[in-house]
Structure 1
Amino acid sequence: MNRAQERLLLAFRVVAVVEAVSYVVLVLASIAHRVGQTQNFVPRIGPIHGVIFLVYLSFALLLRRALRWDTSMTLFVILAAVIPLGGIYVEQRVAKLAKLST
């Protein structure tokens, strides 16, 4: 793995964790509002999470090209982000695969 691929992988790992955390925050804000405990923060948190999710998808597609992922790996990475905390699992799995390939 060359230096550019390492940097791209590191950036993806950071974004994956941030995306997972922002998703959990969004879900918790939604639950808290529905239970009546807080004001509705979803309109503020939702767009922020949306932008982070789009950045995550962009990095996933960049990594697909850089690391020559097949379609199944790419779909796994994208679909895992739909599950709360799935991005953290993906981050760990991608890091493990990167170590194995070096």
Structure 2
Amino acid sequence: MTRAFDVRNAAAWFRLIAFAEALSWIGLLIGMYFKYLGTPRTEVGVKVFGPVHGGVFIAFLVAAVLTGMALKWGVGTWLLALLGSIVPLGSVIFLIWADRTGRMGSDPVAVTAGQPGRTAPETT
């Protein structure tokens, strides 16, 4: 008997990879500061965080595809997830938005509680 793909597990992995992507962005930005502006000028940060960020970026894209398929994201949500991977810390901003709107498999009722007649938006 095979077990069905667990949507909560996909969302949890996506969250973890999205935070790792944001942290690697921060490391790369700090490395770029020291390469171009800092004292002392050094390329060590870019040499370390460049490949790390590249690998985590690819993992983020794969996780976004798998999570989007599992959660049945619409085109707009896919585009925002991919845009979030390009903008520094955009992955975290996307996660906050996706959680609040129920696109991460979470219950958006917690966000709309206390607002009579308001329902969560449909997935795009």
TM-score above 0.5: yes
Greater share of helix residues, 1 or 2? 1
Q: Runs of at least 4 residues of structure 1 off by over 6 A? A: none
Task: Give the Cα–Cα distance (whole angstroms) in 2 for the partners of residues 86 and 62 of structure 1.
Answer: 19
Higher relative contact order (CA 8 A, sep 6+): 1
Scaled by the length of structure 2, what TM-score is found?
0.73
Structure 2 residues without counterparts, runs of 5 or longer: 110-124
Identity of aligned residues (%): 25
Q: Deviations over 1:11-64 (max 9, x none)?
A: 101111110111121011101111142421212210111000000000100011
**Is the contact made by 1:17 and 1:91 (CA closer than 8 Å) also made in structure 2?**
no
**Is the contact made by 1:12 and 1:60 (CA closer than 8 Å) also made in structure 2?**
yes
Larger Rg: 2
Pairs aligned (count): 100
Structure 1 residues without counterparts, runs of 5 or longer: none
Scaled by the length of structure 1, what TM-score is found?
0.87
- 1:100 equivalent in alignment to 2:108: yes
- Quick one: which of 31, 53, 57 aligns to 1:49? 53
